[in-house]
Structure 1
């Protein structure tokens, strides 16, 4: 008999990232700036 795979969740619904991961992502997003010139975009990370 065939198994029904759609009933099981592939990813756990409870995801708890560490405080280090959250702070890294926040600081990365604050440092990232995107400059658009004509039809090109440049990503600049200022540390």
Structure 2
């Protein structure tokens, strides 16, 4: 059941995301803030 990893897989070289996805990720990254307290980190979403 060994799998051969040396073969190249078929991947599209021109992968472009949709504008909606880019907009969502940018707005999410602007809304997220990380707070570090001692040894813990908290992720806060400002929505």
**TM-score, with structure 2 as normaliser:** 0.75
CA–CA distance in structure 2, aligned partners of residues 40 and 15 of structure 1: 37
Query: For 1:3-47, what per-residue CA distance to the aligned partner results, in whole angstroms no more than 9, with x for missing partners?
Result: x75342453222110000000000000000000000000000102
The CA RMSD over aligned residues, in Å, is 1.9
Query: Which structure shows the bigger proportion of residues in helix conformation?
Result: 1
**TM-score, with structure 1 as normaliser:** 0.75
Could you tell me which runs of 5 or more consecutive residues in structure 1 were left unpaired when the two chains were aligned: none
